[in-house]
Amino acid sequence: MAVEALKCKECQRTYPLEARFACEHCFGPLEVTYDFSALDPESTRRKIQAGPPSLWRYADFLPFETRPRSALPAGFTPLIRADRLAERLGLREVWVKNDAANPTHSFKDRVVSVAIPKAQELGYRVVACASTGNLANSVAAHAAAAGLESFVFVPSDLEEQKILATGIYGTRLVSVRGNYDQVNRLCTELAGERDWAFVNVNVRPYYAEGSKTLAFEIAEQLGFELPDRLVVPIASGSLFTKIARGFEEWLEVGLIEGELPAMNGAQAEGCSPVAQAHAAGKSVVKPVKPDTIAKSLAIGDPADGPYAIELARRSGGAIDAVSDDEIRAGIRLLAETTGIFTETAGGVTTAVLRKLAERGDIDPAERVVLVITGEGLKTLDAVRGSFETHEIEPSTAAFAEEFAHEPAAAGAV
pTM: 0.94
Alpha carbon of 349 to those of 138, 232, 287, 296: distances in Å? Answer: 22, 6, 21, 13
* Topology of domain 108-209, CATH: Rossmann fold (3.40.50)
Q: Give residue 413's pLDDT.
A: 44
Average pLDDT, the chain: 95
Encode pLDDT of 92-116 as tens digits. Answer: 999 999 999 999 999 999 999 999 9
66-76: average pLDDT: 89
121-137: average pLDDT: 96
Encode pLDDT of 336-385 as tens digits. Answer: 999 999 999 999 999 999 999 999 999 989 999 999 999 999 999 999 99
CATH 3.40.50.1100 fits 79-105+211-383, yes or no: yes
pLDDT cut 90: percent of the chain above it: 95
pLDDT above 60 (res 279): yes
Model confidence band, residue 251 (pLDDT cutoffs 50, 70, 90): very high
**3-class SS string, the chain:** CCEEEEEECCCCCEECCCCCCECCCCCCEEEEEECCCCCCHHHHHHHHHCCCCCHHHHHHHCCCCCCCCCCCCCCCCCEEECHHHHHHHCCCEEEEEEHHHCCCCECHHHHHHHHHHHHHHCCCCEEEEECCCHHHHHHHHHHHHHCCEEEEEEECCCCHHHHHHHHCCCCEEEEECCCHHHHHHHHHHHHHHCCCEECCCCCHHHHHHCCHHHHHHHHHHCCCCCCCEEEEECCCCHHHHHHHHHHHHHHHHCCCCCCCCEEEEEEECCECHHHHHHHCCCCCCCCCCCCCCCHHHCCCCCCCHHHHHHHHHHCCCEEEEECHHHHHHHHHHHHHHHCCCECHHHHHHHHHHHHHHHHCCCCCCCEEEEEECEEHHHCHHHHCCCCCCCCCCCCHHHHHHHCCCCHHHHHCC
pLDDT above 80 (res 410): no
76-95: average pLDDT: 98
Model confidence band, residue 406 (pLDDT cutoffs 50, 70, 90): confident
More confident call, 92 vs 413: 92
Model confidence band, residue 22 (pLDDT cutoffs 50, 70, 90): very high
pLDDT above 50 (res 311): yes
